[in-house]
Each structure stands twice: as C-alpha cells, then as structure tokens.
Structure 1
Amino acid sequence: AKMPVHHLMVGTWTPPGAIFTFAFDDEALTLKLVKRTEIPKDEPISWMTFSHDRKAIYGAAMKKWSSFAVESPTSITHQVSHPMEHDPNASLATTNTRAIFLLAANKPPYAVYCNPFYDHAGHGAVFTTDSTTKALKENVQNYPYQPNTGIHGMVFDPKEEYLYSADLRANKLWTHRRVSKDDPSLELVGSVDCPDARDHPRWVAMHPTGNYLYALMEKGNRICEYLIDPATRLPVYTHKHYPLIPPGIPDRWTQYRADVCVLSSSGKYLFASSR
C-alpha cells in the first residue's frame, strides 16, 4: 500500500506548550498544519521522540520529562510529567537547568534516557516505561557524568549495549554500558576529550555497522569521525573531519553553530546542519 502522507509532530522551545501535527504529502509535495494539541502550558517540548512502537511521544519539557499517548496523528493525550530529580537545584524555577534531550530504547525493556542541560546538568536520568501504555513510569537511575557536563545528544550502538553521549559543555564524548539486557541502568566505561578545545560536541550519529561514530561539533562546525575500539568500546578519533560551513568564513568559531546530524537508513549518507 502506498503511504503518500506522512505526519510530523513538532514541539516548541518556549511556552505555551503545544504539539503541532503537520501532514506532508510526498506526491503533491504539500505541507499542512492539521492539528494543534494543547499540552501543559509551562511544559513546551524542545525535543521529542517516539516510543519504539510509536504509541507514545516522550518530551524534554522545560523542567519536566513528559509522555503522551498517540492514538493517531491528531489524537495525542498527555499521560504524565516527571520532575528532574538528579539534582535538587535542577527543578527550581530560579535555575536555568532545563530538559534538553531524550532517547527511547528500541529494545526491551524499552527505557528512556534523558539529559538536562545548562547548569546542574551533571547527571543523566533513566526512566522505565509502562508495558501497556508506554508512559514514563519510574526514574530508576540518575547516572553521573561530571559537574560541568552539558549533554545535548546521545546515541546507542546497534545492539543497544553501549550509549554514547556528546558533552558540549565539558568538550568530550562519554561511553556508558547497559548493566544487562534486563536492566536499563548504565555504568561508566570512560570518556575521551575532543580533538580541539573549541569543538563542543552537540550531536552523535552511529553507523549501522556499529563500527564508526560521527560527532557533530557545534563550535568547531565540523563532523569528526571516530572508530569504535572493539576491545574497549571507546571512540578513537581517526583524524578525519568534514566541514559544515563554507571556507573563508571570517570567524568560523562564532558566526555559525553546527546543529544536528543523522545517517540515512542505508548508512550511505550523512546529513548535517549548521546555522
């Protein structure tokens, strides 16, 4: 069956919170707003992702981690919002700490891995999910990075045994290991500093083979290629890097900020952006 219409769910950086559903027709090449779903006003979702079965949306929502049941592209219902509990200062209205990113596992037990950002962001949070409703259930672990950490993106290896985190603020890449196939908790493997003190990694993408990791450097405005060491599972810089802005920019360190990167499903193409 042909599926010419694809639905995109979009959040917002600032209040009031809402989820916008757009319909993209890949034959007519039209993009239409088909629904604006109201959500808690002070919980705008700056990053959202689907559960493995697309029955739920998980949101990084200011001072909260939220989840929504998805019955259809235009029927989205708020389930629950959990506070950030990794640091007593993080959830205070007076601090700039905010939920910035989350990654939903595609393999059992389908946990969700969450990152805060800005200040008081030295831990990641692991949430279990309800097996029926897919809602965020329990904050089972707050695993440490370091006090000045600010993670903005993470990616699993294909087996979802190792988790790689881009630490923009501390300028390093972290590797954690799942404790077991039944336990979503993480333990630290190690971390590696970025090649240049001005790199500031914001995003990571993993090649489908699991052999290569691509780190997008926000301030460096480049993609750096890493080989995954088969023994340690730590990323090793190959000294190959690819620019994300044209040559001749007067000040490449301040005029542009690289954003995100993603591999095509075939693994043959890597898309990346800078702004």
Structure 2
Amino acid sequence: MLQIGSHISSAKGYEAMGKQALKLGANTFAFFTRNPRGGSAKAIVPEDVERFRILWQERGYGKIVAHAPYTLNACSNKADTRRFAGEAFRDDLKRMEYTPGNDYNFHPGSHVGQGAEEGIRLISEMLNASLYPDMTTTVLLETMAGKGSEVGRSFEELREILDRTELSQKMGVCLDTCHVWDAGYDIVGNLDGVLTEFDKSIGLGRLKAIHLNDSLNDRGSHKDRHARIGEGYIGWEAFTRIINHPVLKNLPFILETPNDDAGWAKEIAELQNLAV
C-alpha cells in the first residue's frame, strides 16, 4: 500500500495527530515540531507519545516526517538568526527521540546575498554542531525551488552540504515535486532522467521521502507556489508515474497541497486508487 499522508496540526499532541491522520485515510503524516512561523514548541507529554506509538504500531504503519519551522535559516547573514536556527535544530533533534527512528526535514536556508558557497558552509557548520552519533532520527535536506537566494536549488548544492557534514550517514534528502519542477527538473517528461541525475549527484540511497505537490508555475520558474494534485503544470499522469515508480513507490509521500481536511482525504483516496 502507498505510504501517503498530509501535514497534521501538532497543537493537540501526538495521539491527536495519529487519530487525525487515520480520519483522513493516511498511513503516514508530517507535522511541524514547533510553531512554523515562530520559535515556540509545545511541551511533549511522554504518555501522549506512548499512546500514539501504540496506535501507529497496531496498524503496522511506518515512518512519519517531522518538519522544522520555516523561520529556521542556518545560513542567514544575521548572527542572531543563525544562533536561533542552531538552538531550535538541536532542541528538535532531542524532541525527535521521543519517537525514535523517524525523519526530520528542513529547508537548507537562504544565504541572503552571501553567495551559495558561504550558505553551504554555514549550513554544514550547523549540522556538524548538531548531529550526534547516537541519534536515531534521519535529518532530511529538502530540495528547493531556487526562489531568491535559497540554497538547495540543485542536486549538486545538496551534495556539497552532505559532503561537508561529518556524520552524513545520519542524513538524507526529501524531494519536493513542486520545488524540483520549479527548479527546472523535468519530472513530467523525463522522470527517469531526473532520478538518474539525482543518483549521480547524491545517490538514490539518500532519498528518504517525497513532498507531493503540483505547481502553479511552469518548469524552471523558481516560484515555489504549490497547487492541488492535478490542478497545476505537473498533472495527474505525471503523479501516477511518480507514486508507482519502482525507486519511489515505497517511500513516504507527504501532501503539502493548499487544501482542507476534506481535500486531503480526497487526494489521499485518489492516489491510493492509482497505486499499483
């Protein structure tokens, strides 16, 4: 069965997230570790986490994909912003150990005029100060659309970050379909070619999760504007190939489409029906 879910609000805790995912027909989900537009984090209640783990294990469901806040920018040109990024990142890795063995995804950041090379250096510096040998979480770099001064607009930039990270065995990549399309990768007309390029640059063994989003813009636009599945330039035919591709089909797929619960439930059901 396809591993498919959407972002779930973490406001009411882990058990509530698990139950909400089940209502949507999901068997995986994503959640923000803290306020996505701020820095505050909800206190974790161990008993709540345990109830979630029992709920999830009873159904035999797999990994969930946590998401760092959007405000986390490890390569900002402001020292205070970088300091917050490191502190929040390290705190999130501690919090992730309440649910061992899952994924933690983050946007590499924006270099804000310092240049991609300096951005890559600063991101790797934070990772080297944060990852530790005993952690069970896999940290995922997200592929980016290349809007403004975003780092991670190409597979090669992500590879450079991985190469400079000492505990890179603790890391992987989350491929966002809208982002890579907007960055110029032709996942509609040449999915195999894009995956071959990913394999040469990064290695398919590093690919751990997929953010499944259509795009409001044509390929190479560098805009990053998500659309509902089938309502953008990528389209249902391409998504059918993506979810059934032998390299991708066993990964967790996370919807970040502009929807409400009813819309996500509909997309989840439709994608499950297309999975073979």
TM-score normalised per structure 1:
0.32
Higher Cα Rg, which structure: 1
Name whichever structure is richer in strand by fraction: 1
Flag the structure with higher helix content.
2
